[in-house]
Amino acid sequence: MKKFRLPLLWKILLATFVAGLIPLVLITYRSINAINDTGQAAQDTAVQQLDEKSIEALRVRAVQVAAEVESLLEDVASDTRYLSTLQPDAQVYMQFYQSRSRSFWYLLGTDLEMHSVLDTIPLYRELTFVDINGQEQVSIRDGKLLPVEELRNVSDPVNTTYRSETYFAEALALPMAQIYVSPVMNWYAANRLQPGYATDSATSRFAYHLYEAVIRFAAPVHDSNGALIGVVVLSLDHRHIMEISNHVQSSFGKVSYPDYASGNYAYLLDYQGWLIAHPDLSTLRGLDENGVLMETQMLATKDLDFPFNMLTSDLKAQAVEISSAVLDDQSGVSHSTTRQGTPKVDIYIPIHFAHGVYAEKGIFGGVVFSEAVTNVEQAGAISSQIIGAAVDQIQKDMVWIIAVSLFFLLAATVLLARNINQPISELTEAARIMQKGELDVKRIDHLIERRIQDEVTELAGVFKKMAQAVQMRERRLREEVNALRIQIDEVKKKEEVDRITQSETFKNLQEKAAELRARRAERMRKIAE
């Protein structure tokens, strides 16, 4: 197997970095996923709750509008009962008529230059007393007391304003203190008999102040002896009912006239499913020139001028759903679109009233708040954007934190590796020097005297003692070797001397040397003599 060398520094670097990197990557991955999941859950929850809150806020406003319509209708019913207790008198009637008024807000001008007008107008278009034979005896119309020649006999419906009204006969047949209430009576908006002539939502905004429609309230009148003497009729200006819903533009507060195309408006339907208040006056129930109720607009006649009955028209399934629920005394939420195709949410609430033609079910009709889906979701979308931005910022912060953490991890790994590897390298170098027979005491002492003590420091101390012991042992060995070498040399010399002195040659030389010394001594003696 082929071997390769990997320095300890790199082993420590890789081991430490990987050991720190893997948990950091896992934690980061899990954290980012958790942040995303939490952020998405928070976004979904916020959107859902805020959408629900928006719808609930619209529902509350729809309930308020329904309550206001109910209150106005009951007030008119009370006025009718009150008038039925009075003896017919033109001056009393006029005082009463003038004491009842409400504000009226409308637009004038053109699409290019328009302005709104806030006015106060009478609550009633007419106040009339009709005798037992159907002959009008006192009639106040548009604030004026009509002269005798303009008074009519309304026992025949043809002689009534809308040529088909039966309020006289209906009220005359009622017991004392009971009242009759008619449907909304008006010429159809696209009929030239209608002063507030309008064929679409664009023309409606400038025709609204001229629009004529009434709801007849009638009650029998008895004299002081309890004898029936006639019928009193109060004709509520239906614009006051329309006022309650016509200036509501859903979550955007009040406007002088709602924009139908926006999908943000409120409208009213009656007990039969007919529209009776809407930004487009041409959709409201109305009569033709003969006083006959117009047919509803259908798919086959959608391009023609017809009013709209939500309950019977085949134009919109949602309209049938809403009107059916309302007339069954149910409230709820539905989804639909405007004629311009704007998606909207519809919140519907029934309006309760139990007099006249409304007595059978106790339902006057209903109020519907329409809100463009984009507006319903606006609060949730804003919240979602805020949460999304926060999540994005957290993720960016996480990236920076990870980058910084990796940097510090790498730096710490390098420092740790160097802190371990450097003294080991120095110790290794000292061992190499020692291998040559030297001891780098300064290098070893530097390792031993480091500020932070660790196992390498202990190893350096042990190494120093071991090196010193080795050196001392080496010196002793050298000295012993030198002493042994001297002893060996002396033995060798003695052996050599003995070998030489015991040889015949050496003995002969000794003999010759002795003879020479004797001769020399003899000569010296002779010389001396």
Helices 378-435 + 441-448 axis angle, to 10: 140
Q: Is 99 helix (H, G, I), strand (E, B) or coil?
A: coil
Q: Which pLDDT belongs to residue 508? A: 75
Q: Looking at residue 370, what is its pLDDT?
A: 84
Location of structure tokens 């329904």: 66
d(CA 238, CA 124): 9
Convert 356-380 to b/e letters by CB count within 10 Å (16 or more is b).
bebeeeebbbbbbbbbbeebbbbbb
Per-residue pLDDT of the chain (529 residues; tens, 9 = 90+): 555 555 655 666 666 666 666 776 676 666 666 666 655 555 444 444 445 667 787 888 899 999 999 999 999 999 999 999 999 999 999 999 999 999 999 999 998 899 999 999 999 999 999 999 999 999 999 999 999 999 999 999 999 999 999 999 999 999 998 999 999 999 999 999 999 999 999 999 999 999 999 999 999 999 999 999 999 999 999 999 999 999 886 555 678 898 888 778 899 999 999 999 999 999 999 999 999 999 999 999 988 999 999 999 999 899 999 999 999 999 999 887 766 666 778 899 999 999 999 999 999 999 998 887 655 444 444 444 555 565 566 666 666 676 776 677 667 676 666 666 666 676 676 667 766 666 666 666 666 776 766 666 766 666 667 766 766 777 777 777 777 777 777 777 777 767 766 777 767 777 777 777 777 777 787 787 6
Torsion over CA: 39, 44, 47, 48 (sign): negative
d(CA 484, CA 265): 124
* pLDDT at residue number 264: 82
Of the candidate CATH numbers 3.40.50.620, 3.40.50.2300, 3.30.450.20, 3.40.50.300, the domain formed by 44-382 belongs to 3.30.450.20
Cα gap 269→358, rounded to integer Å: 13
Distance CA 218, CA 82 (A): 11
Round to whole Å and give the CA distance between 208 and 121: 14
- Length of the chain as a residue count: 529
**CB distance 327 to 311 below 8 Å:** yes
**Phi, psi (deg, nearest 5) at residue 6:** -120, 110
Q: Note the pLDDT of residue 45.
A: 47
The whole-angstrom separation of Cα 403 and Cα 502 is: 96
Q: How far is CA 41 from the centre of its chain?
A: 10
Domain boundaries, the chain: 44-382, 446-525
Query: Do 179 and 217 contact (CB within 8 A), yes or no?
Result: yes
Dihedral of CA 276/282/287/292: which sign?
A: negative
* Tokens 């910084």 belong to residue: 404
Q: What gap in Å lies between CA 281 and CA 289, rounded to an integer? A: 17
In angstroms, the CA 77 to CA 69 distance is 12
For the chain, how big is the Rg over CA atoms in Å? 59
